[in-house]
Amino acid sequence: MNTTNPYAPPQAAVQDVSDSDGAELAGRGVRLLTVILDGLVLAVMFYVPLGMSVSLAGRPLLVNAHFNYGAMLGPNLWLPLLGLAAWLWLTVMFVSRNGQSIGKKITGIKVVRSDGSRASVGRIIVLRNVLNSLLGIIPLYGLVDALMIFGDKRQCVHDKIADTIVIKA
């Protein structure tokens, strides 16, 4: 006796298609380490020189419990601006070469499109960074963005906006 239903739709064995051409997604821990490293690099190249320029100006940073912007606008302002320019140049250079920030270069991961193709500099900088920073004014957005990494594809909100994934380089 034949138990197959002649009215059933056809069936076929379908294998999953890899979104990233077999590339391995970067782990959550290494992505966290990368964010920390990128923050440290920016701190060393911009915020430390900014603090040095304020201390060299000899003016207090707080006056009557108000922030003294004039303390930062002294003759030593060139030092943090030079550090910021160097950081921006290095970041754009690394991103344009291989989709990596300085921290991603150190940890061996990179950003690509979700189909595995190369992500453009504009996509990475504008959609993943600038737009994501602007969205940061929405309350709790940063928390939601970070927690989205616990999904199957390990994509944060900024990855979904830019249609990117982070893989091992």
Positive or negative torsion for Cα 146, 27, 105, 161: negative
The phi, psi pair for 155, rounded to 5°, reads: -105, 125
- Confidence check: pLDDT of 1 > 80: no
Higher pLDDT, 26 or 68: 26
Listed in sequence order, the residues at least 6 apart from 44 whose beta carbon sits closer than 8 Å to its beta carbon are none
Quote the percentage of the chain above a pLDDT of 90.
63
What are 72-125's pLDDT values in tens digits? 676 778 888 999 999 999 999 999 999 999 999 999 999 999 999 999 999 999
Enter the tokens of residue 112: 């690509």
Asked if residue 54 lies in contact with residue 71, where contact means CB atoms within 8 angstroms, the answer is: yes
